[in-house]
Amino acid sequence: MTDQNFRFGAILMTLSTFVFAMQDGISRHLADTYNVYMVVMIRYWFFALFVLALAARRLPGGIAAALRPQFPLLQITRGVLLAAEIVVMVTAFTLLGLVETHAVFVCYPLLVAALSGPVLGERVGWRRWSAIGVGFVGVLVILQPGLRVFSTAALVPLLGAFMFALYGLLTRYVARGDSAMVSFFWTGMGGAVLMTAVGLFHWQAMSAPDWAWMAVLCCTAVLGHWLMIRALEVAEASALQPFAYLLLPFAATLGITVFGDRLEPNVALGAGIVVASGLFTLWRARKTGRGAVAGGP
Residue 277 has pLDDT above 70, yes or no: yes
Model confidence pLDDT, tens digit, residues 100-150: 999 999 998 888 888 888 887 877 787 878 888 888 888 888 877 655 444
Tell me if the pTM is above 0.75: yes
Given a contact cutoff of 8 angstroms between Cβ atoms, the answer to whether 174 and 99 are in contact is: no
Q: 1-12: per-residue pLDDT in tens?
A: 567 788 898 899
Rounded to an integer, what distance in angstroms lies between the CA atom of residue 193 and that of residue 190? 5
Closest to 196 measured CA to CA, from 81, 113, 80, 295: 80
**SS3 sequence of 149-215:** CCCHHHHHHHHHHHHHHHHHHHHHHHCCCCCHHHHHHHHHHHHHHHHHHHHHHHCCCCCHHHHHHHH
Alpha-carbon span 166 to 160, nearest angstrom: 10
In angstroms, rounded to a whole number, what is the distance separating the alpha carbons of residues 275 and 220? 25
| Pairwise CA distance, residues 227 & 210, whole Å | 25
56-78 pLDDT tens trace: 999 999 999 999 999 999 999 99
Cα dihedral 87, 93, 99, 101, rounded to 10, equals -40
Nearest to 102 by CA among 194, 44, 27: 27
Task: Compute the mean pLDDT over every residue in the chain, rounded to the nearest whole number.
Answer: 88
- The most confident of 26-40, 233-247, 281-295, by mean pLDDT: 26-40
Q: State how far the Cα of 102 lies from the Cα of 121, in Å rounded to an integer.
A: 29
pLDDT at 115: 86
**Is 90 exceeded by the pLDDT of residue 211?**
yes
Three-class DSSP category at 59: coil
Write the pLDDT tens digit of every residue in 217-251: 999 988 998 998 888 888 877 778 788 888 999 99
How buried is 200 (Cβ within 10 angstroms: 0-12 exposed, 13-18 middle, 19+ buried)? exposed
Helix, strand, coil: what percent of the chain each, to 5? Answer: 80, 0, 20
Task: State whether the Cα torsion 123-82-247-92 is positive or negative.
Answer: negative
Displacement of CA 91 from its chain's centroid (Å) = 14
Instruction: Give the contacts of 248 (CB within 8 A, at least 6 positions apart).
Output: 102, 103, 106, 271, 275
Confidence band for 289, pLDDT divided at 50, 70 and 90:
low
Burial of 263 (0-12, 13-18, 19+ CB in 10 A): middle
Using DSSP's 3-state secondary structure scheme, residue 224 falls into helix
Decide if 170 contacts 47 (C-beta within 8 A).
no
The pLDDT of residue 159 is 95
Q: What is the pLDDT of residue 152?
A: 72
Q: What percent of the chain has pLDDT over 70?
A: 93
User: What is residue 54's predicted lDDT score, i.e. its pLDDT?
Assistant: 92
